Amino acid sequence: MNVNDTTSAAVLDQLRRRPADTRRILFSGATIVTMNRDLGVIDCGDLLVEGDTITAVGPDLSAGDAVVVDATGTIITPGFVDTHRHAWEAQLRRIMPDVDDLGGYVMATLAGYATVYRPEDMYIGTKLAALTAIDSGITTMLDFSHNSRTREHSDAAIQALLDAGIRGVHASMGPHFGDWDRQWPGDLTRLKDQYFSSDDQLLTLRLAALATDEIGGPTLAYGRQLARVAQDLGIRVSVDAVFGRSSSEAVRRWAKDGILGPDVTLIHATGLTAEAWKAMGESGTTVALAPTSDAQIGLETAIPAVDEALSVGIRPGLSIDVEVALASDMFTQMRALHAIQRMRAVNAVYGTDRRQPSRITTYDVLDFATLQGACTNGLGGVTGSLTPGKKADLLVIQSEDINNMPLNDPIGTIVLGSDARNISAVLVNGEPRKWNGQVLDVDLPALRSEVHASREYVLNTPAA
């Protein structure tokens, strides 16, 4: 499947003429990085997709009536999983690339721009983020949607995920500042009934909250009341701004109250005490790291807490966080974490810390970006590895492009060599979303016009 091969368009046309639920696609001759420890890496392997599901992985599979995609010279890998992104901000991306600290971000974005967002601005920001995610190989994105000012704002954010075609997790939270309808968290019941009635669909629902009441007040802070809301609805919880001593005390309190566990994801987790980490490890709580956010914005210690997580048996997921100041793609997160942790491990012997941690590997960070991200999002049985029976969320990466050839180590090539330009195809739930290097079904001029119009409105409207 050469990115410059005109037959790719013909293959896509052939695929799309077949009913999606009965379509069979055989990718042949690829290097397949399954991220399943039993299956490993398969050189010159085949992968069969039937409908929305991976049904076989291995050498020399029988094609039958499948549409055959010659994937020679490529790597096929699971789609990346983003465990935390504030997608509604996308039309403000890189507006503050050198933000000094969390307070600067909060006051400019959450106390400023966020307060004037209309439902249509929520829609266009979220859709832009989701399409950008697909373009860079992220097939699952948790949208921490913390600007739910009205029911219509929530509806718009959910509709954007649906229209983009990504595997999405809508994590709903009320806004920090400004006027809003106070419909949250009560409106979660309506959202679940209206949009999330099936367990077998692309979108899932979460409750989003903050660790403490220091920024947004007690209404938004996780505790017994919000835990009960989530439990009654049967949904999971994502908690943001988990850092420092006050969050450490909150974590220990949640453990005592019995509201930590695998259904709860704590985001950032920087600067936490050993006691807090012990409680998280013992309860099986999941963690979403934001490597560039922690380091660039300077959240608490500014060091992604990968060693702390691993020390208590937690393998974390990775996330993008805020595009107003950070990169949009998972390649950047993997490389940042890989470099920072290994720097920290080596540097430890030069300081007072004699407990030199082991250096993580490229396999580790790819695992965090795929399978562990899926587990963090509560979707480990659905996506995150190329395992027969899981949904067909996958990437086709060109290994013979000028920046990747020759292929010597496929995992090293994905983590350290590749970027969005090398992704020739993305499938989400078996449906092609990027093909021949282009995101599909997007009217780019219309999208560009909508993004610019939304940005101009937000920037030129006084904060409410």
Q: Which stretches does DSSP call E strand in 230-373?
A: 236-243, 264-270, 286-289, 317-318
pLDDT of residue 3: 39
User: DSSP for 340-409?
Assistant: HHHHHHHHGGGSS----PPPP-HHHHHHHHTHHHHHHTT-TTTSSS--TTSB--EEEEESSSTTT-S-S-
pLDDT of residue 354: 60
Pair 86, 130 in one domain? yes
The verdict on residue 402 lying in a domain is yes
pLDDT of residue 6: 41
Pair 70, 97 in one domain? no
Query: Distance between CA 73 and CA 1 in Å, rounded?
Result: 8
Pair 395, 356 in one domain? no
Query: Distance between CA 92 and CA 147 in Å, rounded?
Result: 14
pLDDT of residue 221: 97
Pair 94, 55 in one domain? no
CATH number of domain containing 428: 2.30.40.10
pLDDT of residue 4: 40
Pair 432, 365 in one domain? no
Pair 163, 307 in one domain? yes
Pair 74, 85 in one domain? no
Q: Which residues contact 49 (CB under 8 A, 6 or more apart)?
A: 23, 24, 25, 26, 27, 55, 392, 427, 430
The verdict on residue 197 lying in a domain is yes
Q: Which residues contact 197 (CB under 8 A, 6 or more apart)?
A: none
The verdict on residue 2 lying in a domain is no
The single-letter DSSP state of residue 261 is: S
Domain boundary (376, 399, 425) is at 376
pLDDT of residue 192: 97
Pair 52, 110 in one domain? no
Structure tokens at 203: 């979108």
Query: Distance between CA 451 and CA 132 in Å, rounded?
Result: 13
Q: Assess contact for 178 and 147: CB atoms under 8 A.
A: no
Residue 324 CB: number of other CB atoms within 10 A? 20
Q: Assess contact for 409 and 399: CB atoms under 8 A.
A: no
Pair 156, 271 in one domain? yes
pLDDT of residue 2: 43
Pair 349, 206 in one domain? yes
pLDDT of residue 178: 95
Buried b (16+ CB within 10 A) or exposed e, 375-405: bbbbbbebbbbbbeebbbbbbbbbbebeebe
The residue ranges of the chain whose pLDDT is under 70 are 1-7, 351-356
pLDDT of residue 353: 57
The verdict on residue 64 lying in a domain is yes
User: DSSP for 116-167?
Assistant: G--HHHHHHHHHHHHHHHHHTTEEEEEEEE----SHHHHHHHHHHHHHHT-E
Residues in the chain: 464
The verdict on residue 235 lying in a domain is yes
Q: Assess contact for 298 and 265: CB atoms under 8 A.
A: no
Q: Which residues contact 223 (CB under 8 A, 6 or more apart)?
A: 253, 254, 257, 259
Structure tokens at 76: 């096929």
**Bridge pairing between strands 138-145 and 423-428:** unpaired
Domain boundary (348, 376, 404) is at 376
Domain boundary (336, 353, 376) is at 376
Pair 187, 327 in one domain? yes
CATH number of domain containing 149: 3.20.20.140
The verdict on residue 399 lying in a domain is yes
Q: Give how many domains the chain has, as a whole number.
A: 2
Nearest CA-CA partner of 286 in 368, 356, 165: 368
Q: Assess contact for 260 and 254: CB atoms under 8 A.
A: yes
Fill in the amino acid letter for 416. Answer: L
The verdict on residue 458 lying in a domain is no
Residue range(s) defining the domain that contains residue 150: 80-376
pLDDT of residue 7: 46
pLDDT of residue 236: 98
Pair 168, 240 in one domain? yes
The verdict on residue 175 lying in a domain is yes
pLDDT of residue 199: 81
CA angle 274, 276, 281 (to 5 degrees): 90
